[in-house]
Structures are given as structure tokens and as C-alpha cells.
Amino acid sequence: MIVVAVILVTSFALLAGAFWGAFRNLSERTEGFVVAFAGGALIVSVMDELIRPSVDTMPLWGVLVAVMGGAAIFTGSDAFVAARFRNAGGTGLVLAVTLDGVPENLALGTALIGAQPLAVAALAGSIFLSNLPEAAGGAKRMVADGRHPRRVVAVWAGVATLLSLAALGGYTGLSDASEPLIATIKCIAAGAVAASLATEVFPTAFREDAKWTGIAVALGLCFAVALGQLG
């Protein structure tokens, strides 16, 4: 039950963010600061919860190949979405967040296998914080495009459900898998998350809150390190 609660809390951020963006005014500086904070936390979480544990069960070359493969998959998919839905406004953001969120939530699910939930608190917390402003910004743009706020929230609720299933699938579907397979999937997810930080998260944060982006990233790093000690 605790595992399910962790998954639901991280995905609930999308629904909360959608309400925030659709019915409340969200300043770009606030969004940028929170995104940068979450990005800093994700750096620590990716290393501590996904990559470093995998080195114990995989050869180093396997870890490196899997991480680079995940980065390549995300980059290619992200480029396709950007080219295909460049002028889609909020709809494009929904697709981008879904693309970004699947590896994050799959990573969360696999990280929970054989671990106490508090041990991955930093990863869960940083995913929560990244989901919140992304959904708020996307919902705000969709409303600006003329969509009804309730319909916008319903779309983001669907995204939250999909990402919850990705996390739950990562946990239940791979619970009996071999350790090398789990480690490979974690590394692929880690590469995808790292690529998303470089191409989506940090550029967005700097564009919207340039002066405080560095501080926010450093605070996110500290947050993740502190949460990691709970496990």
C-alpha cells in the first residue's frame, strides 16, 4: 500500500498542477524556480537511485551503453514530438510531459523494487516537483488556446493515470525479473531523464527565471541529498 501511495502522490502533482494552471494565475518566475529546483533534485536521484546501484549488478560498459541508449531514445522521440507538434500549443506540452514522465515513472517503479519507500523519497519528491509546474504551464497554455478549464483538467487527469500505470507497471511487472534486467531498465530510464533535464527542464527554467535558476538547482540538490538520508 505504501508503494501505491508513493506512485499516486507523484502522479497527483499533474492533477494539482492542472488545476493550478487552469483556474489560477501562475507566474513564469515561480514556474521556472520550481522546475529548476526539481531538476537539481533529479540529478542526485538519477545517480543515487538508478545508476550507482546498477553498477553492482552490471559491468560498467553495460551501464554506460544503457544510459546512452536511454538518452538517445528520449532525444529522438523528443525531436519527433517537437517537429510534429511544434505549433500545437498546450497539446504539444501534454505530449512532451507524457514523453518525459514515462521514463521518470518507470524509473520510480523499478527503484521501489526491493527497497523501502523512504529510500527513494528523493526520486519521488523530485518527480512530484517537476510534474507540478509542467502540468500548470501546460494547462495554462491550453486554456489560453481556448479550451475549457474542466476539459483541460480532464486531459491532465488522463496523463496522470497513464504515468501512474507506468510506475505501477515498472514495480509489479518487473518484480520477479533478474537483477541485471532491472538494472538495465533503470539505466535506460536514467539516460532518458538526464536527456530531458538537458533539453527540456533546465532551458525552460533559465528562460523563465534566469536570475535564480542556479540557486534553485542547488537547493534541489540539497533537498535530494537530505531526503536520501531518510532511507
Q: 175 in helix, strand or coil?
A: coil
Confidence band for 66, pLDDT divided at 50, 70 and 90? very high
Say what the pLDDT of residue 169 is: 81
- With beta carbons less than 8 A apart as the criterion, state whether 69 and 169 touch: no
Task: Give 196-209 as a DSSP string.
Answer: HIIIIIHHHHHHH-
Give CA–CA dist 187/69, Å, rounded. Answer: 9
- With beta carbons less than 8 A apart as the criterion, state whether 94 and 138 touch: yes
Confidence band for 230, pLDDT divided at 50, 70 and 90? low
Amino acid at 41: A
Q: Kindly report the backbone phi and psi dihedral angles of residue 214, in degrees, each rounded to the nearest multiple of 5, phi listed first.
A: -60, -40
At 141-184, the pLDDT tens digits run 788 778 888 888 888 888 888 888 888 887 787 777 788 888 89
- With beta carbons less than 8 A apart as the criterion, state whether 137 and 196 touch: no
Region 191-217: mean pLDDT is: 84
Give CA–CA dist 90/155, Å, rounded. Answer: 11
Q: By percentage, how much of the chain surpasses pLDDT 70? A: 87
Confidence band for 82, pLDDT divided at 50, 70 and 90? confident
Confidence band for 16, pLDDT divided at 50, 70 and 90? confident
At 23-37, the pLDDT tens digits run 877 677 887 888 888
- With beta carbons less than 8 A apart as the criterion, state whether 185 and 174 touch: yes
At 85-117, the pLDDT tens digits run 665 555 666 666 777 777 777 777 777 776 666
Q: Which three cell numbers stand for residue 69?
A: 541508449
- Tell me the H-state helices in the chain: 2-23, 28-45, 52-55, 60-84, 90-111, 121-144, 149-172, 179-196, 202-208, 213-228
Q: Which three cell numbers stand for residue 71?
A: 538518452
Instruction: Give the count of beta carbons closer than 10 Å to the beta carbon of residue 90.
Output: 22
Region 193-197: mean pLDDT is: 86
